[in-house]
Structure 1
Amino acid sequence: MCRIAGIASKSIKPRQLVSIVQKMCDVQRHGGPDDEGIFIDEQIGLALGHRRLSIIDLSSSGHQPMTDGNQQAWISFNGEIYNYPELKQELIQQGSRFNTHTDTEVILQAYLQWGTAAFGRLRGMFAFALFDVALGTTYLVRDCSGIKPLYYHLIGGQLSFASEVKALSRSGIATNLDSEWPIRFLAYGHIPEPYTTLKNVYSLPKGHYLQWQHNTAVSVIRSFADEPPLHDYITDTREAQHELYKAVNHAINSQMIADAPLGVFLSGGTDSSIVALMSGKQKDDQLKTISIYFEDKDHNEHTYQQAVADKLIGKNYAHLVKQQDFNQHLLHIIASMDMPTTDGINSWFISKYAHEDGLKAVLSGIGADELFGGYPSFNRIKYIRHLKQLSPTMFGLGKSLLADKYKKLAYLAYDHPVADYLFLRGLFTPADIAEILDIEPRIIEDVLFTSRQGYPTGYDEQHASWLETNLYMQNQLLRDTDVMSMSHGLEVRVPFLHEDLQRVVANIAPAIRFNKHQPKKILTDTFKDLLPPEILNRPKMGFSFPLQQWLAAHEAMNAEQFKGKKAQKLVKEFKKGQVHWSKPFALYQIQNV
């Protein structure tokens, strides 16, 4: 796990190229505190930068940017390739020679052997830049689940890229803000891909590569993700459980590979408990688990965390987080954000403690809710079809007459798939956004409801799974987890998003995969002999901080410090308990970030 950066330009002098890439690397130092390196090809006008967090092969042979023995290709790589031992053996049989024990070199040799077809054979989380010397071509490549970030900027025959948006802005490459980012942020609570806070800076789509031809300064973006093969669904519950157990076990085992200290985030929920207990089978007494808990009884999951920890031989590090900790670190948390978000506070704290407890990599349970129907949206989505049969004018009532938590009904007046998602997960309505930003509602609608391409329909559990995976998890959970963990020099691995596991889950009949009466039943039934009774019998409750109380008590929530009557009114309503904390937190960032 690392941070990468680079520029391809024939108009910038070599010394300046190195200087700018060095600045980008310096901005991202927190994500790669162990080593740094820069490669430059002066003739072609390319500089690749790298900040290293050493996880596999801790020796100096893992230094990047890395090249093969014949210097046919160069790579700057961020991430982990979990099937690199198998690929390495196959490549050795085909004549490849290796000088290191790194997964980075496996990517290089795989490309030299198979070309761009190699990208689809990688299993893991990754974002890398690979320069083919003979072809004069650079590839930017991002994993199929979009776990690792990669942002690019194209202008005037120049390609620039980095793992963080702020690396592009603070180095002077892209300094103009995208005027539409506040609209998207207030609607979603984050900035959805491919957009960013910067003009002409975009996120590379997951499962794609950008190909840059140096001699022509022409780029093209192509997909390398394989479409899952169409098979008959698994309709037998026992068979589904058998295949699911094998896939989860394989995913977790493959992600336990590390030459640095590795542990597990243990929240007390089903997903992290499964990851911890399955990891404990392999790591035995070496496994460390990290938990955080609170004094507030409504948010305290310490009992559940301890029930799992008691079944493990390794050490559990449990940390009590209090209001004063939140007060002390709120500005640090906001400073750690690459882009504004209404999430990530929990990730920041638990990553901080994991780093302090000596870990460099951890496993997380992210992804299970999206795969198996763990959110309320999986039941709510079916009602959208019926509600949208009503007159759109009825939903206009949400502008003024309804309580705040019902205002999102206004989104159902719009015939667009994004509006369906925002009804389920959105923050502010278009009318409220227009009032907050003092712009015409028509502008809000033009920004939010543009292309329909790629969005499914169906209003069933599979539809909900797609929305939760490709919008909420992709743009909020994964991004915030990456940014907040890397701000502490920590790598987070997500075994539920292993490519092979996702294929198995997609092949389970929806009637078995989703259960409206008991969310994630197939998952809990599969591991019922492993999980303690406290976890099996506990009510569903998403892990969260007591932020409604903490933020209300924070000095930042002084209504008089907010600009505009609408914002001041909302903050006052929040302090009365009438508005969810995420709304004033978003307004605070809009006005202070």
Structure 2
Amino acid sequence: MCGIVGVVDLQGRSVDPSWIDSMNDSIVHRGPDDSGSYVRGNVGLGMRRLSIIDVAGGHQPVYNEDKSVWVVFNGEIYNHLELREDLEKAGHRFYTDSDTETLVHLYEQYGVEGVSKLRGMFAYALWDERAERLLLARDRVGIKPLYYAVIGGCLAFASELKALIRLPWFDPDINSASIERFLAFLYVPGPETVYQGVVELPPAHILVYEKGRTSIQRYWTLRYQSRDDVRVEEWAERVLHQFRDSVKSHLMSEVPLGAFLSGGIDSSAIVAAMAMESSKPVVTFSIGHEGKGAFQDERPYARIVADRYRTEHHEFVVSADIQGIVPKLIACFDQPFADSSAIPNYYITKLTRQHVTVALSGLGGDELAGGYERHLGMQWAEHFRRLPSVVRGLLGEYWIHRLPDSPTGHPGMSRIKRFLSSAANPTAERYAAFVMAHSVSERARILSRDFHAGAKAQSSNEMVEAAFNSNDADSLLHYLLLCDMQLYLPGDLLMLTDRVSMLHSLEVRVPFLDHPLIELMAQVPARHKLTLWSKKALFKRAFRGLLPSSILDRKKVGFSVPLALWLRTELKPLLCDVLSKDGLTAVGYLEHGEVEKLVSEHLSGSANHESKLWALINLVLWERQRRVSQSQGYHRSALGQSRRGG
């Protein structure tokens, strides 16, 4: 695991090595073990390394036999040994044992198409001196990040936005549409970012710059094509076999390795598969919460699995004393981000890094097998829509206005109200209602009129509709899963996992997102994955021999904290300070009256606005940090001014 940076001057001017050094310094947390750079003429590449494979010999940048092809790489290639064997048979000579070197020889053999042969998580930059060609590549589902921008006559790229900010000419305006989208989703969905002109390379894409031209190409497309010629029992066997193969491939490491264990199906299955492949006890890590609030402590379930497989188990308890870590979390994301599960993730990655360098996670299982409440709710809504319109209207109108909000933060009541209010709408609108924290009208009230007009009020809803319209899935569930993998998975879950783990220099691997397993699950009919009464039905069948019924049949609990309660108690001073009139005035585009109303209703207990308030807190604090960074003037040199002008 590493961080990568680079600059190509499109006008042929020389790259200053200090730019690469400064960019590298900003992401030292991603790779505290080593650093390296390549600067020659108008090209500069840099990297920070967290040593996992070929610890002694894997220094980057890595080059080919005649040093005409150079690469900097972030991630892991799980099939690099098989690729290496084939490349050596073709005459390529390796000088390291690292998976990184595979990339340069793969490029020599197959060109830019070689990326499709990779199995792993990755973001890398390759420079071909002879062809004067830059290749940027990102893995199929977006596990590893990569941003780029064409600014000041240069094409610059980096693993994190903070590295781009270090460039002398980097001073872009805020992308107002991204603020509107953040309030909708609680994250900024790609490929756009919070900065105008700065783009996230989409998952499963490559960027090629050559001879003054830039092209972006997709190299992999997930298609759901269900097969009805296979019995569900055989599907369960195939999925189990491929899952175990995925876990086995993810155990490749020369440093200590462990696993997160929540006591849910996904993480428990990973621990079980790891235990079957290891002669030593698996090292596992769990997190819990003690105190009041709508929060279920999952540690007792994690202990069931830990005891069954005799793991070396570690636990951590989260308290409401989190004000000290909030600025760290905001800084690590570089743009507004308000998924409150970042809080427990921060603590569990910190705990885990004290014992191991690599951890396996159950992330991705819900996106493969239909594990979210919205998947079940959307399916029920299809049946609800078949009722006569008069009946639907009466049920909706009657219950929506009579069901109370849950002031403690328990999601059940809000889910029922959300279901009733959107069940009769078109599919894309229903999905938007389930995944958005603020509705269109709420976003319009919170943002100032001028700012909201510039942000294109419907842009977030249009993104959801575009995601649905771009899919050709064969069932409602598969439409939902594809949308999750296009929006929520890379924009929220993978962003969160990468940034928070890298903040502690911990590599997190996600076996459920191994593309052979994804492609296999895409062939399984939706009816085997999700029924009207059971989420992840196929996983429960497939993992029946690995896990006890107490794990398989328990209700899913998210990786959450009792935020609604905390905002009324321990975090109340933070809430009242950040969202005060002075705090909001400093931002300039939030409506004081509407925000004050949300604060008042939440503190009184008459409503639960935890998600909305947490989003606003993070937005205001992010703006504060951004303006402090601007005032420090990383990019105010005379050269920076001339580059911006060029």
Common fold by TM > 0.5: yes
- What is the one-letter code of the residue matched to 2:135? Y
In the alignment, the residues of structure 1 paired with residue 150 and residue 473 of structure 2 have an alpha-carbon distance, to the nearest angstrom, of: 33
Consecutive unaligned residues in structure 1, runs of 5 or more: none
In the alignment, the residues of structure 2 paired with residue 259 and residue 144 of structure 1 have an alpha-carbon distance, to the nearest angstrom, of: 25
1:579 to 602, 608, 618: 608
1:322 equivalent in structure 2: 319
In the alignment, the residues of structure 1 paired with residue 325 and residue 308 of structure 2 have an alpha-carbon distance, to the nearest angstrom, of: 33
In the alignment, the residues of structure 2 paired with residue 342 and residue 387 of structure 1 have an alpha-carbon distance, to the nearest angstrom, of: 33
2:218 equivalent in structure 1: 223
1:486 matches 2:502: yes
1:68 matches 2:80: no
Kept in 1, the 8 Å contact 2:180–2:457? The answer is: no
- What is the one-letter code of the residue matched to 2:262? S
2:255 to 237, 255, 260: 260
- What is the one-letter code of the residue matched to 2:116? G
2:51 to 54, 63, 76: 54
Task: Tell me how large the CA RMSD over aligned residues is.
Answer: 2.9
Give the drift of 1:407.
Answer: 7.2
1:433 matches 2:443: yes
Q: 1:247 to 1:565 in 2, by over 3 A?
A: same
Give the drift of 1:174.
Answer: 4.3
In the alignment, the residues of structure 2 paired with residue 71 and residue 198 of structure 1 have an alpha-carbon distance, to the nearest angstrom, of: 36
Kept in 2, the 8 Å contact 1:152–1:203? The answer is: yes
Q: Which has the higher contact order (CA 8 A, sep 6+)?
A: 2
In the alignment, the residues of structure 1 paired with residue 337 and residue 401 of structure 2 have an alpha-carbon distance, to the nearest angstrom, of: 26
Q: 1:508 to 1:456 in 2, by over 3 A?
A: closer
What secondary structure is seen at the aligned counterpart in 2 of 1:327? coil
- What is the one-letter code of the residue matched to 1:282? E
Q: 1:403 to 1:282 in 2, by over 3 A?
A: same
Q: 1:130 to 1:51 in 2, by over 3 A?
A: same
Note the alpha carbon deviations across 1:29-58, whole angstroms, 9 max, x for none.
Answer: 11111111110121xx11001011111111
- What is the one-letter code of the residue matched to 1:557? L
In the alignment, the residues of structure 2 paired with residue 294 and residue 332 of structure 1 have an alpha-carbon distance, to the nearest angstrom, of: 21
2:266 equivalent in structure 1: 271
Within a 5 Å distance, the mapping from 1:220-369 to structure 2 comes to 220-225=215-220, 232-233=227-228, 235-296=230-291, 298-324=295-321, 326-343=322-339, 344-357=342-355, 359-369=356-366
1:448 equivalent in structure 2: 460
Q: 1:414 to 1:314 in 2, by over 3 A?
A: closer
Note the alpha carbon deviations across 1:189-232, whole angstroms, 9 max, x for none.
Answer: 1100111111100111111100001x32x100011116669674
Kept in 2, the 8 Å contact 1:187–1:422? The answer is: no
1:80 matches 2:76: yes
Q: 1:517 to 1:397 in 2, by over 3 A?
A: closer
- What is the one-letter code of the residue matched to 1:438? S
Give the drift of 1:333.
Answer: 2.2
Kept in 2, the 8 Å contact 1:3–1:163? The answer is: yes
- What is the one-letter code of the residue matched to 2:446? I
| TM-score normalised per structure 2 | 0.84
Q: 1:277 to 1:407 in 2, by over 3 A?
A: closer
Give the drift of 1:402.
Answer: 9.4
Kept in 2, the 8 Å contact 1:187–1:433? The answer is: yes
- What is the one-letter code of the residue matched to 1:3? G
Kept in 2, the 8 Å contact 1:296–1:546? The answer is: no
Consecutive unaligned residues in structure 2, runs of 5 or more: 406-413, 585-591, 623-646
What secondary structure is seen at the aligned counterpart in 2 of 1:196? coil
In the alignment, the residues of structure 2 paired with residue 164 and residue 401 of structure 1 have an alpha-carbon distance, to the nearest angstrom, of: 47
In the alignment, the residues of structure 2 paired with residue 291 and residue 547 of structure 1 have an alpha-carbon distance, to the nearest angstrom, of: 19
Kept in 1, the 8 Å contact 2:204–2:219? The answer is: yes
What secondary structure is seen at the aligned counterpart in 2 of 1:244? helix
Give the drift of 1:95.
Answer: 1.5
Note the alpha carbon deviations across 1:269-315, whole angstroms, 9 max, x for none.
Answer: 11000001111112232521111111147421111011111122331
- The size of the alignment, in residue pairs, is 584
Kept in 2, the 8 Å contact 1:411–1:429? The answer is: no
2:523 equivalent in structure 1: 507
Give the drift of 1:449.
Answer: 4.4
| TM-score normalised per structure 1 | 0.91
Q: 1:541 to 1:20 in 2, by over 3 A?
A: same
Give the drift of 1:157.
Answer: 4.1
Give the drift of 1:486.
Answer: 0.5
In the alignment, the residues of structure 2 paired with residue 233 and residue 58 of structure 1 have an alpha-carbon distance, to the nearest angstrom, of: 47
Q: 1:473 to 1:580 in 2, by over 3 A?
A: farther
What secondary structure is seen at the aligned counterpart in 1 of 2:279? helix
Note the alpha carbon deviations across 1:300-339, whole angstroms, 9 max, x for none.
Answer: 1111011111122331111122222x23322322222232
Q: 1:54 to 1:551 in 2, by over 3 A?
A: farther
Give the drift of 1:262.
Answer: 0.8
Give the drift of 1:514.
Answer: 2.2
